[in-house]
């Protein structure tokens, strides 16, 4: 965790154009995660895969997928859009407190992205382990 804090401190010294570029990349990443969620949902619904999973574990995987795709990714996408709106306001005004707020929010979103990415990676590993058994 210490590395993440040091990395975010360093990144927040970057210029606004670079932070904007990173936000756009995160927006593309969250769009891709949504597409992946549809793939995993369809995969879990396949009869051959569905039968290979113990019922309780399948239910857990489906619930986690719903939480990730239905709530967490959606919330993060909303945060990213709001973050871009804040940047637009910042660019229309003189730098100052709004820039500090923007950079702090960028740091928070960076941590949220890393956390959700880790959960998605763990979820994929679980699904792949079961699918290998099919």
pLDDT in tens for each of the 134 residues of the chain? 344 444 555 555 788 899 999 999 999 999 999 999 999 999 988 888 778 778 898 899 999 999 999 999 999 999 999 999 999 998 888 768 789 899 999 999 999 999 999 999 999 999 988 888 76
3-state DSSP of 41-100: HHHHHCHHHHHHCCHHHHHHHHHHHHHHHHHHHHHHHHHHHHHHHHHHHHHHCCCCHHHH
**Residue span of the structural domain in which 61 resides:** 2-132
Q: Give me the torsion for CA of 43, 49, 53, 58, rounded to 10°.
A: 20
Q: Determine the pLDDT at residue 6.
A: 42
| pTM > 0.95: yes or no | no
Give the count of domains, the chain.
1
**pLDDT recorded at residue 1:** 39
């Amino acid at each position: 965790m210490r590395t993440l804090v040091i990395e975010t401190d360093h990144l927040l010294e970057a210029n606004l154009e670079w932070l904007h570029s990173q936000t756009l990349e995160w927006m593309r990443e969250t769009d891709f995660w949504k597409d992946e969620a549809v793939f995993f949902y369809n995969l879990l619904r396949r009869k051959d895969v569905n039968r290979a999973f113990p019922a309780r574990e399948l239910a857990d995987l489906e619930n986690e997928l719903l939480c990730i795709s239905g709530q967490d990714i959606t919330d993060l996408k909303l945060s990213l859009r709001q973050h871009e709106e804040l940047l637009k306001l910042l660019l229309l005004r003189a730098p100052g407190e709004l820039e500090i707020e923007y950079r702090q929010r960028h740091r928070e979103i960076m941590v949220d992205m890393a956390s959700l990415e880790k959960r998605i990676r763990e979820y994929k590993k679980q699904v792949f382990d079961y699918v290998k058994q099919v």
